[in-house]
Structure formats: structure tokens, C-alpha cells
Amino acid sequence: MQIDIIEDDPRWTALTLPGLAEAAAIATFARLGIDADGCTLSLLACDDARIAELNAEFRGKPQPTNVLSWPAADLAAADPGAVPAAPEPDFAGETELGDIAIAWETCAREAETAGKPMADHVTHLLVHGLLHLLGYDHVRDPDATLMERLEVEILGRLGLDDPYRDRTGP
């Protein structure tokens, strides 16, 4: 597994983001039965200004958000609540999953509001972003139910509480 991390905002260095990202990816892949060998993804750790630019450019929403994801392949299931297709390696045996961006100020504000350690909230958002790269979504109710259940299970494996217990998740 390879996670290319760009820490665009220096505040991220204090959080040991590489370790959090690796733990989130390992737990997510293990829960979904995905072989992590050969999987690659990119993570941009930025500030609210940068993620607002990205959100405006790619989603037409010119405001900051906590996490954005750009899957390398459309793995989404056609039927509501169904499991997405598994990612497939390319001819070289690598499985490019896509890109994630995460914003410091929004994450810090949400963690404080929820009374959670920043590292726990960021881990949740990384799992959330990874699930998006793997074809999961929360637009349709059955898909949201499936995605939230997986997030809770994966975070539980990491020793973290259910982020939806008080409905303040992403």
C-alpha cells in the first residue's frame, strides 16, 4: 500500500497524519477484504481556503468542507444499498484508488464541537473518504445506511466510538 501525502498546511505535521492514514486504510481494507498490496492513493492535508477552492471547482460549492474524495474508478453499485464493485488492479498490478483532501480548520472545529480528539475525528474522515474511493456513498438512504454501518465497524476495530451516535458525522 502506498499513500502519498502532501501536507499543504504545517499544522498537520503535529498530528502524525501518515500513521493515522495508514491505520485507517489497513482497517478499511481488512474489513472489506481488499488486498492492500499494490493499492495507491493520494491525500492532501490542507486548510479551509484550499478545500473551499476545490469544493467550488469540483462540486460548485464555494465553501470549506471537512473531506473531499475523487475516486479513480466508478465502483458504485447500481442498486441502492448494494455493495460496490471491488477495485481491480491495472496491468502492472497496481490499484489506483484516487485522491482525498482534508481541511484542518473544519476538522478541528468539528472535533471540538463533538468533544472528540482531533486524531479520532480525522481517522473517521479518512475512513469516510476511503469508502468514497471504494464506491460507497450516502446520497441514497440505503447507501447511507450501508456506508455508516461500515464506518462504525471499521472505527470500532480501531478502538474508536461510533461517530454517528450523536449524528454529528460528516
Q: Are 116 and 155 in contact (CB under 8 A)?
A: no
Check the annotation: does 121 bind a ligand: no
Known binding site: residues? 128, 132, 138
Known binding site for Zn(2+): residues? 128, 132, 138
